[in-house]
Structure 1
Amino acid sequence: MILLLTRPLDPTADMVIRELGTTGTPVVRMDPGDLPHAVELTGHFEQGQWRGRLTDAHREVDLTEVSAVYNRRPNPPQAAAPGLRPQDAEWASNECYEGFFGILYSLPALWLNRPDRNRTASLKALQLPVAHSCGLLTPTTLVTNSPFDAKEFVSEAPSVIKTLRGVPQRDADDAAGHPLIVYTWEVSPQEVNDTVSQALCQFQRRIVPHYEVRLIAVGTQMFAARIDSPSGQDGEITDWRAYQLTDRIYYTPIAVPDEIREGVLAYLAAFQLLYGAFDFMVDAEGWHFLEANPNGQFAFVEHATGQPIARAVADLLVQADAEHATTRSG
């Protein structure tokens, strides 16, 4: 049985569920954000293992039947309740998180990917040396909250500034809602000021690409889309995401060079991941690794290029389920 953890609205998860539906493999979708009020967990530890059940209003999951966990983008447990003080709600939510994932991590199940590994692999300052050690080209980068050092770095050569992590889930008026998008942009020495001291900032040498690539790795399979857009051209935003809803961007399938394939596989192994969404810029020098999202969505790549990514995810989960069944019957 496959346990799919995600929030209610997740088109990427929907695509995988449709593929799983064609295989007949049992799959249960839940959101940890419904714990503790709409999800009940009972775990009993004895003779070296956890047994028990995970239940919501419609389904009951026997923990011993869980063969694979597809961790997409679930909400964290929310213990808020009328009359419960905020500090007590935070404590109760943390207790739910610790118990829920502690028990699930202990199960002999395949994870795509474990949340703790995703969190470590999301550290962009860590990604660069790991990618370099795996043989991938990496850009010269500065992380600092020193305005002097930032200005000096930007003065030496054309550079961009980019976030180290996504922005909070909020609308432009600060109300809770959709996440704001902060694009990568070219920065001049004149634009560097004392606001740098308010947070660690990431500056990178500017690469002028011939084109860019979004590469999706699922186990050992790789699906790459060439991205042609005005990104990086003079007077344009240096981030292809800015053109996603325009007619100025084009996606086409592209083969993955052997050295990139080997580097990506080594990178996944270093972080103990089975999935990753990689961004590259390609120029005359080669494929430059920019970053990798261990939980990045792939829907737009599949829709634009027709590559069967959801099927590859489903196949990986189904294979784990078959191996789990063989182990239990043996």
Structure 2
Amino acid sequence: MLLLLTRSLDPTADMVIRELGTTGTPVVRMDPGDLPNAMEMNARFEQGQWRGTLTTAHRTVDLAEVSAVYNRRPNPPQAGAPGMRPEDAEWASNECYEGFYGVLYSLPVLWLNRPDRNRTASLKPLQLSTAHACGLLVPETLVTNSPSDAKEFTAEAPSVIKTLRGVPQRDADGAPGQPLIVYTWEVPPHEVDGTVAQGLCQFQRRVDPLYEVRLIAVGTQLFAARIDSPSGRPDETTDWRAYQDTDRISYTPIGIPDVIRHGVLDYLAAFQLLYGAFDFMVDADRRWNFLECNPNGQFAFVEYGTGQPIARAVADLLTRADAEHATSTARMGG
């Protein structure tokens, strides 16, 4: 049985569930955000392993039957009760997180991907050094909170500024909202000011792209989409995401050079990942410049835009894990 961890609205997860349905592979969808008020966990450590159940209003999962965990976009546990102080609710939520994932990480199952590995693999400076070690081309980059160093870097050659992490949005009442998208943009030296000192900023050499590539890795299967948009042209936004849902962008399948294929697979191995969404810029010399890898990035637009069977690849990987788990259980007589 596959355990899918995600929020209630997740179109990408829906695509994978539909593919799993064609194979008959059992899957249960749950959101850790339901802990502790709408989900109950009972886990007991005995004879060297964790046994127990996860229960919601509609489903019960026997932990011994879980063969793989597909970690998509789950909410964190959200404790709270009438009269509970906010600091106590935060503490209880953290306790739920530690217990929930502590037990699940202990299960001998396939993860796509473990949240702790996703978090480490999301550190962009670490991404760049790892990509370079794996033979991928990486633009020169500066991480600093020094306005003078930032001004000097941007004066040396055309440069862009990029976020190190997504920006959380807050609703009017201060509650967490949907993440904002902060686009990459070119920054000339005269625009660098004292605000750089308010936090670490990431500056990177601008790459003038012939086109860009979103590459999706699922296990050892790689799917690449060429992205053509106005990105990088004069007076245009330096980020192809700004043109999504417009008629100014197109996606077409593209072959993957061997050096990129080997580098991507080595990169996944370095972070112990089974999935990654890679972004490259291809310059005038046809060199693939590594920009970043989102270990839990979206692939739906690539599948819809190119027809490549990415959801099927995810479903197949999870189904194989389920079959192997069933065979192992049968051999042990359990």
Change (3 A) 1:31 1:173: closer
Matched, 1:257 2:281: no
Alignment of 1:182-221 (within 5 A): 182-221=182-221
Once the two structures are TM-superposed, the CA of residue 176 in structure 1 deviates from its matched residue by: 4.7
- Counterparts of 2:286 and 2:148, CA distance in 1: 31
Matching residue of 1:20: 20
Structure 1 residue aligned with 2:326: 325
Amino acid at match of 2:124: K
> Residue 246 of structure 1: CA displacement?
1.5
The offset of 1:219, in angstroms, is 0.1
The corresponding residue for 2:298 is 297
Deviation at 1:129, TM superposition (A): 0.5
Q: State the SS of the aligned residue for 1:169.
A: coil
Q: CA deviation at 1:82?
A: 1.2
Deviates more, 1:110-119 or 1:226-235: 226-235
8 Å Cα contact 1:170/1:180 also seen in 2: no
**How far apart in 2 are the matches of 1:202 and 1:172?**
29
Counterpart for residue 313 of structure 1: 314
Cα drift, residue 175 of structure 1: 6.9
Q: Which residue of 2 aligns with 1:178?
A: 178
Q: Tell me the SS of whatever aligns to 2:182.
A: coil
2:248 is aligned to 248
**Shift in Å at residue 180 of structure 1?**
1.8
Contact 2:55 2:61 in 1 (8 A): yes
Residue 239 of structure 1 pairs with residue 246 of structure 2: no
Per-residue deviation, 1:285: 4.9
Q: Does 1:47 align with 2:35?
A: no
Provide the C-alpha distance between the structure 1 equivalents of 2:78 and 2:176, rounded to a whole number of angstroms: 16
Deviation at 1:320, TM superposition (A): 0.2
Decide whether the 8 Å contact of 2:168 with 2:177 is kept in 1: no
Higher alpha-carbon deviation: 178-187 or 152-161: 178-187
Residue 68 of structure 2 is aligned to residue 68 of structure 1:
yes
Contact map agreement 2:35 2:96 (CA 8 A) in 1: yes
User: Cα distance 1:91–1:166, how it changes in 2: closer, same or farther (>3 A)?
Assistant: same
Q: Separation in 1 of the partners of 2:173 and 2:41? A: 37
What's the CA shift string for 1:28-73, capped at 9, x where partnerless? 0000000001000000100110000011011110000000000001
* Code of the aligned partner of 2:255: A
User: Is this contact kept in 2: 1:171–1:180, CA < 8 A?
Assistant: no
Give secondary structure in 1 for the equivalent of 2:178: strand
* C-alpha contact 1:2 1:317 (8 A) present in aligned 2: yes
User: What TM-score do the two structures reach when normalised by structure 1?
Assistant: 0.98
1:172 Cα offset (Å): 9.3
Unmatched segments (≥5 aa) in structure 2: none
Q: Do the aligned residues in 2 keep the contact of 1:146 with 1:196 (CA within 8 Å)?
A: yes
Does structure 2 conserve the Cα–Cα contact (< 8 Å) formed by 1:229 and 1:240? yes
Q: Within 1, Cα distance between the matches of 2:173 and 2:199?
A: 22
Tell me the number of residue pairs that the alignment of Structure 1 and Structure 2 aligns: 330
Indicate the RMSD between aligned Cα atoms, in angstroms.
Answer: 1.2
1:43-122 correspondence runs (5 A): 43-122=43-122
Q: What TM-score comes out, normalization by structure 2 length? A: 0.97
Residues 139 and 288 of structure 1 are in contact (CA less than 8 Å); yes or no, is this contact kept in structure 2?
Answer: yes
1:174 CA displacement: 7.1
CA shift for structure 1 position 245? 2.0
Deviation at 1:233, TM superposition (A): 1.0
1:80: Cα distance to partner?
A: 1.5
Aligned residue identity for 1:300: F
Residues in 2 aligned to 1:211 and 1:265: alpha-carbon distance in whole angstroms: 22
Q: Percent identity?
A: 81
For 1:81 and 1:165, the matched residues in 2 are separated by 31
The worse-fitting range, judged by mean Cα deviation, of 188-197 and 244-253 is: 244-253
Residues 1:164 and 2:167 are matched in the alignment: no
> Contact 1:137/1:287 (CA < 8 Å) preserved in 2?
yes
Q: Check whether the contact 1:302–1:309 (CA below 8 A) recurs between aligned residues.
A: yes
Whole-Å Cα distance in 2 between the matches of residues 58 and 218 of structure 1?
A: 31
Residue 23 of structure 2: SS of its match in structure 1?
coil
Q: What runs of 5+ residues in structure 1 fail to find an aligned partner?
A: none
- C-alpha distance in 1, partners of 2:49/2:175? 44
